[in-house]
Structure 1
Amino acid sequence: MQKDLISIIIPCFNEEEMIPLFYDKMSGIMGATHMVDFELIFVNDGSKDRTLEGLRVLTERDSRVRYLSFSRNFGKEAAMYAGLKYAKGDFVAVMDVDLQDPPELLPAMYRILKNENYDCVGTKRVDRQGEPKIRSFFAKLFYKVINHISDNHIVDGARDYRLMTRRMVDAVLEMTEYNRFSKGIFTWVGFETKYLEYSNVERPAGKTSWSFWGLFKYSIDGIVAFSEAPLDIASVVGFVTFVVALLMAVFFTIRTLIFGNPTSGWTSLVVIVLALGGIQLLSLGILGKYIGKTFLETKRRPLYILKETDEELKRDE
């Protein structure tokens, strides 16, 4: 009887310290799981350190290891899409190389997909211990906001770490948009998903490539990708501002007719002008964000450009 194949996609950006640790951990899991075969697909997202060299060594040592290397940094979203596209497995997992996604959950995830009526087993953190409090606060705020303004519900604390059936992976690959937000895409395609909870795990080595500003921009992209509420807000604010301005015009006209036209009022006029200007710029910024995303989509640029793969390395040998 032929074994199932599990493909594991691991995006990497400047992770030379973590790759050996991740491989050693996964080797133990793969060695103890005899019911399936594995392939590890590392995606080098334009790393500037010795990440690629480390992947070449692993590929020569273990036939289960594959890698894709981009011509430059295209981002984690592009790396995940590339991995999904090249994965051959009956089941496909997405994992971070920093070991904050516990590999020991994989056997349980596989058993659930085989024995229960699910197409995806995801993971979510039940706490954010060890994470800066300001970052945790804004993360929770993001989930509250996006679930309030979007029809696409995203589980608070959900990770990209998940194991999916082939039919779900094929559905995700049909979503070829340039501006990607995978947490939203995984939810949007549907399919029954079960979540496993675990406590937060800190990375054992290296530094995260996600800055606070990077996460903030990523959250804005997620909101824009799955909600039109910001456009509605801009429209409502514009309408309310117009009504307030109209009422104020009536008020000042009546006051002038009754009490005359005193020279006072310069401060209030400046405040009103600045407020209206700020609201207009905010509305234009929101509109510009959507137009910018549309502009990028119409260019039809590739999500990534491959510079090297393990298959080319093997052909050269």
Structure 2
Amino acid sequence: MPKLSIIIPCYYNEDNIPVTAQALIANEAGFPADVTFEYVMVDDGSGDNTVRELLRFRDQYPDRVRVVELVSNVGSYNAIVAGISQATGDCMAIITADMQDPPELMVQMYNYWLQGFKLVIGNRQDREETGLQQVFAKTFHLLMKKIALPNIPDGGFDFVFFDRQVAEHITQLQERNSNLFYLMVWLGYPYVNIPYVRRKREIGKSRWTLKKKAKLFIDSILAFSYFPIRAISVIGLFLGLVAFGYGLYIIGLHLFGSKVPEGWSTLMVVVLFVSAFQMAALGIIGEYVWRGLDAARKRPLYVIKEPRK
């Protein structure tokens, strides 16, 4: 009897949990009768009544629901890793608590897993959201595909179904400041891609702030691409060639007796531009160094509270 563990990270989702729980239980009807289910609900340090709602869900289905309560907010990706470490299924799925991703898609994902695929991706072919949120998401995944991971599907994804072997790789890596879902693709297993339209959030308010999006973008680029470092080298070489060419120009003016332009304003612009580039380059290098230090300290990605009775 295959066991499916469904991992749901929760953060300020007290209003979503009753609806999500009902949808997940109803979705079981689409699976073969021999499949057993485990719901690993991970509270990522919520400050509302999310834990209370999760415990109610567990009390309704004590044989299927596990509540993992983290001591503090560590981010959704680390919360998911915590859930993976606690899951016991032969296969696993990750889905958000706001039900923007269709749980019924997991039935199709499960069938692909039975065929031998260790990773099945539900990628966002389109979104019901509009405005800057949609623009940011498309731009982010387009850049990642161009400069970091060309084999990721278009449109981005955070709805995945994977084998226990993939889960073991993820928990062993314990990678920090990265992108968990891109890391699954990076492992190299052949995957199936199922496009779908991401729903608009109906309940509650998203905690996915601009600051968190910017950090995810930086983490993803630095974790999977050497492009920023290579860009520093290329720009530095270009500036060096420009400086060398300008130096030859000044020498030529002296040799042929021409008047050398004073160019105080031009000189200051060049100095400020080069200084700005140097500071930006140091900032990029500092990001890499900080990530190396963070990994070397080997602090835990998360701390789990004692289970509540």
Shorter-chain TM-score bucket reads over 0.9
Question: Residue 5 of structure 2 corresponds to which residue in structure 1?
Answer: 7
Equivalents in 2 of 1:65, 1:54: separation in Å?
A: 12
Question: Residue 177 of structure 1 corresponds to which residue in structure 2?
Answer: 175
Question: Residue 65 of structure 1 corresponds to which residue in structure 2?
Answer: 65
- Give the C-alpha shift of residue 152 in structure 1: 5.7
Question: Residue 111 of structure 1 corresponds to which residue in structure 2?
Answer: 111
- Give the C-alpha shift of residue 144 in structure 1: 2.6
CA contact (8 A) 1:178 1:301 kept: no
Match of 2:209 among 208, 211, 234: 211
Does residue 19 (structure 1) correspond to residue 17 (structure 2)? The answer is yes
CA contact (8 A) 1:122 1:158 kept: no
CA contact (8 A) 1:152 1:184 kept: no
Equivalents in 1 of 2:86, 2:259: separation in Å?
A: 77
Equivalents in 1 of 2:156, 2:137: separation in Å?
A: 11
- Equivalent positions of 1:28-43 (< 5 A) are 28-33=26-31, 34-43=33-42
CA contact (8 A) 1:172 1:189 kept: no
CA contact (8 A) 2:153 2:193 kept: no
| Alpha-carbon distance change, 259 to 110 in structure 1, aligned in 2, over 3 angstroms | same
SS in 2 for 1:259: coil
1:238-263 deviations in whole A, cap 9, x for unaligned?
A: 1111121121122123324522345x
Question: Residue 94 of structure 1 corresponds to which residue in structure 2?
Answer: 94
Q: More deviation in 76-85 or 253-262?
A: 253-262
- Equivalent positions of 1:1-317 (< 5 A) are 3-33=1-31, 34-63=33-62, 64-114=64-114, 116-132=115-131, 134-151=132-149, 153-257=151-255, 258-261=257-260, 264-309=262-307, 313-314=308-309
Equivalents in 2 of 1:45, 1:283: separation in Å?
A: 34
Equivalents in 2 of 1:126, 1:180: separation in Å?
A: 23
- Give the C-alpha shift of residue 271 in structure 1: 0.8
- Give the C-alpha shift of residue 84 in structure 1: 0.8
- Give the C-alpha shift of residue 292 in structure 1: 1.0
- Give the C-alpha shift of residue 65 in structure 1: 1.1
Runs of 4+ in structure 1 over 4 Å off: none
| Length, aligned pairs only | 306
- Give the C-alpha shift of residue 148 in structure 1: 2.3
CA contact (8 A) 2:250 2:260 kept: no
CA contact (8 A) 2:30 2:107 kept: no
- Give the C-alpha shift of residue 56 in structure 1: 1.6
For normalisation by structure 2, the TM-score amounts to 0.94
Equivalents in 2 of 1:144, 1:32: separation in Å?
A: 34
| Aligned amino acid, residue 67 of structure 1 | V
Q: Where does the alignment leave 5 or more consecutive residues of structure 2 unmatched?
A: none
Equivalents in 2 of 1:194, 1:235: separation in Å?
A: 37
Q: More deviation in 237-246 or 141-150?
A: 141-150
Give the CA RMSD over aligned residues. Answer: 1.6
Q: Where does the alignment leave 5 or more consecutive residues of structure 1 unmatched?
A: none
1:22-43 deviations in whole A, cap 9, x for unaligned?
A: 0011111124533311111111
Give identity over the alignment, percent: 32
Equivalents in 1 of 2:93, 2:129: separation in Å?
A: 25
1:126-180 deviations in whole A, cap 9, x for unaligned?
A: 1123232x33223222223222222563212232211111122222222222223
1:78-127 deviations in whole A, cap 9, x for unaligned?
A: 1111111110001111110010111111122112211x231121101111
Equivalents in 2 of 1:151, 1:101: separation in Å?
A: 23
| Aligned amino acid, residue 276 of structure 2 | G
Equivalents in 1 of 2:128, 2:56: separation in Å?
A: 35
Q: More deviation in 219-228 or 167-176?
A: 167-176
